[in-house]
């Protein structure tokens, strides 16, 4: 059993200065109970808190760390880059190199603009889509999360769902009115919106593999049908691949499903653990972005040399072997969770896609937001606490993805499955 004494004291202090004691809501453990662990250091698949407790980490910074925590080569590269200057506010060759690499891996991104987060990427992508089409409305899917810009905090997943504020106060009514909601994996709901309002819709934005209502894979033909509908109505199709980019495969979800979106949003892995986002796509659309065109978007730290270096290091190491190993361990973990739940007679649906997964505590298959919400969040909280007590650090929310990395070993996965067997018994006792 871990002792969180110093973490608790730090959390008390943090609450006096940071709203809720954290800098991003889902870190606060609000829906799983207890107080958050304050991290001292991390390496490989291991997280160590300020009390010296060690955990096998399945949050992995919410997705960026596909190569594990602090790989030695990346740390060396970042150190060397920092010695040459931490920020220039002027172009560097690194941005060109990373941009070209992104385009090689994701050929639909004919032009790329670097920003500092996935939120910025998505917010900017819809601005350019609106400018290109001369239309204001967008379609988003219930339970999908595209960062915290106003237009997206309408039935948003991730921390917004975890905290019960999927539609946030503070979003102007007029902005929310331009965000039309469709149901994930329900093409009829998109068709109806396009038929009624197609001429005022600039973009359909979608996580091609949803990862912020928990992991939900697209149903057969769903993404194809979105592509067809968007083309038919002259609407731009935006893939938010902040999670799936470079994770589902080196070319993201679009490579796996063979769909070419008009624009793509990236984040997480593209920065190798440092703050980088990017949006890009068709040259005729992206050439509207300033200074090539009139759509304004800027950033003091965009293309930061240290962050670009980390991104390059990460993207250069996306080998076939990496994805093979990740999928193998992902399948082991998913099967282990399912078996542990069966043995304890706990209803569980494990949604897994390669190296991401979510165990949903529900009897119904989870294929959209409504079915995700059938999950028993109390059971998840019990499971979470029982896992934490056994040295496993799961995401502190039912509606997030578990992430594996190259640093997770078979031994880590076996230890996690052993912990899950005991944790499922705790859930069963609590039900």
Instruction: Report the C-alpha gap between 85 and 77 in whole angstroms.
Output: 13
CB of 1 to ligand HOZ, least distance (A): 27
CB of 118 to ligand HOZ, least distance (A): 7
Residues between 62 and 121 with contacts to ligand HOZ, criterion CB under 6 A: 62
Q: Is 21 helix (H, G, I), strand (E, B) or coil?
A: helix
For ligand HOZ, give the closer residue by CB, 114 or 145: 145
Instruction: Report the C-alpha gap between 407 and 117 in whole angstroms.
Output: 24
Residues recorded for the chain: 431
Q: Which residues pair with 203 in a beta bridge?
A: 138, 236
In a 13 Å sphere around the CA of 141, the CA atoms on its Cβ side amount to 35
CB of 284 to ligand HOZ, least distance (A): 29
Query: Strands 54-57, 263-266: parallel, antiparallel or unpaired by DSSP?
Result: unpaired
CB of 93 to ligand HOZ, least distance (A): 30
Residues between 312 and 371 with contacts to ligand HOZ, criterion CB under 6 A: none
Q: Residue 206, exposed/middle/buried by CB under 10 A (0-12, 13-18, 19+)?
A: buried
Q: Cβ neighbours of residue 121 under 8 Å, at least 6 residues apart?
A: 115, 147, 242, 265, 266, 267, 277, 278, 279
| Interaction of residue 152 with ligand HOZ, rule CB under 6 A | no
CA 328 vs CA 335, 349, 352, 418: distances in Å: 11, 19, 12, 18
| Interaction of residue 161 with ligand HOZ, rule CB under 6 A | no
Q: How many residues bind ligand HOZ (CB under 6 A)?
A: 9
| Interaction of residue 212 with ligand HOZ, rule CB under 6 A | yes
Helix axes 305-315, 72-83, angle to 10 degrees: 150
Number of H helices, E strands in the chain: 15, 14
Q: Which runs of E-coded beta strand occur in 123-268? A: 137-141, 179-182, 201-206, 236-240, 263-266
For ligand HOZ, give the closer residue by CB, 24 or 79: 24
Q: Is the peptide bond before 291 cis (omega within 30 degrees of 0)?
A: yes
CB of 159 to ligand HOZ, least distance (A): 5
Among 180, 400, 403, 413, indicate the residue that binds ligand HOZ (CB under 6 A).
400
CB of 344 to ligand HOZ, least distance (A): 28
Among 4, 71, 143, 159, indicate the residue that binds ligand HOZ (CB under 6 A).
159
| Interaction of residue 26 with ligand HOZ, rule CB under 6 A | yes
CB of 147 to ligand HOZ, least distance (A): 8
DSSP H or E segment with residue 42: strand 39-43
What is the C-alpha radius of gyration for the chain, rounded to an integer number of angstroms?
21
For ligand HOZ, give the closer residue by CB, 212 or 362: 212
Q: Is 235 helix (H, G, I), strand (E, B) or coil?
A: coil
Q: Cβ neighbours of residue 83 under 8 Å, at least 6 residues apart?
A: none
Which residue sits closest to ligand HOZ, CB atoms considered? 24
Instruction: Report the C-alpha gap between 225 and 199 in whole angstroms.
Output: 18
Among 35, 45, 158, 398, indicate the residue that binds ligand HOZ (CB under 6 A).
158
DSSP H or E segment with residue 252: helix 252-257
Give the catalytic positions in this structure. 145, 240, 268
CA 137 to chain centre: 24
Q: What's the sign of the alpha-carbon dihedral 373, 374, 380, 381?
A: positive
CB of 400 to ligand HOZ, least distance (A): 5
For ligand HOZ, give the closer residue by CB, 61 or 409: 61
Provide the token pair at 337. 């969770």
**Positions that interact with ligand HOZ (CB under 6 A):** 24, 26, 62, 145, 158-159, 212, 243, 400
């Amino acid at each position: 059993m871990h002792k969180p004494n110093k973490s608790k004291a730090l959390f008390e202090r943090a609450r006096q200065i940071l709203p809720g004691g954290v800098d991003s809501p889902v870190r606060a453990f609000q829906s799983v109970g207890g107080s958050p662990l304050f991290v001292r250091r991390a390496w490989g698949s291991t997280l160590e808190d300020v009390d010296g407790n060690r955990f096998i980490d399945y949050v992995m910074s919410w997705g960026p760390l596909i190569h594990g925590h602090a790989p030695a080569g990346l740390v060396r590269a970042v150190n060397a880059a920092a010695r040459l200057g931490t920020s220039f506010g002027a172009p560097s060759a690194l941005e060109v190199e990373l941009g070209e690499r992104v385009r090689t891996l994701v050929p639909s991104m004919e032009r790329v603009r670097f920003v500092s987060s996935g939120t910025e990427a998505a917010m900017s992508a819809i601005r350019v889509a609106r400018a290109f089409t001369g239309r204001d409305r967008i379609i988003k899917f219930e339970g999908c999360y595209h960062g915290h810009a106003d237009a997206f905090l309408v039935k948003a997943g991730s921390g917004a769902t975890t905290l019960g504020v999927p539609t946030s106060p503070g979003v102007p009514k007029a902005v929310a009115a331009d965000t039309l909601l469709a149901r994930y994996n329900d093409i009829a709901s998109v068709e109806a919106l396009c038929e009624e309002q197609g001429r005022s819709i600039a973009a359909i934005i979608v996580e091609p593999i949803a990862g912020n209502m928990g992991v939900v894979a697209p149903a057969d033909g769903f993404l194809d049908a979105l592509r067809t509908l968007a083309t038919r109505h002259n609407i731009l199709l935006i893939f938010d691949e902040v999670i799936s980019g470079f994770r589902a495969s080196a070319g993201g979800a679009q490579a796996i499903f063979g769909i070419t979106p008009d624009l793509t949003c990236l984040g997480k892995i593209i920065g190798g653990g440092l703050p980088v986002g990017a949006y890009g796509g068709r040259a005729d659309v992206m050439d509207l972005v300033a200074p090539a065109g009139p759509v304004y978007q800027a950033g003091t730290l965009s293309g930061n040399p240290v962050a670009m270096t980390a991104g390059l290091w990460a993207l250069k190491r996306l080998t076939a072997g990496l994805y093979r190993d990740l999928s193998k361990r992902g399948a082991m973990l998913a099967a282990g969770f399912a078996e542990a739940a069966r043995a304890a007679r706990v209803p569980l649906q494990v949604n897994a896609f390669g190296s991401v997964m979510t165990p949903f505590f529900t009897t119904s298959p989870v294929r959209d937001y409504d079915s995700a919400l059938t999950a028993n969040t109390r059971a998840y909280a019990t499971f979470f606490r029982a896992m934490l007590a056994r040295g496993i650090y799961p995401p502190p929310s039912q509606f997030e993805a578990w992430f594996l990395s190259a640093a997770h070993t078979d031994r880590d996965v076996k230890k996690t499955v052993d912990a899950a067997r005991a944790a499922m018994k705790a859930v069963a006792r609590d039900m």
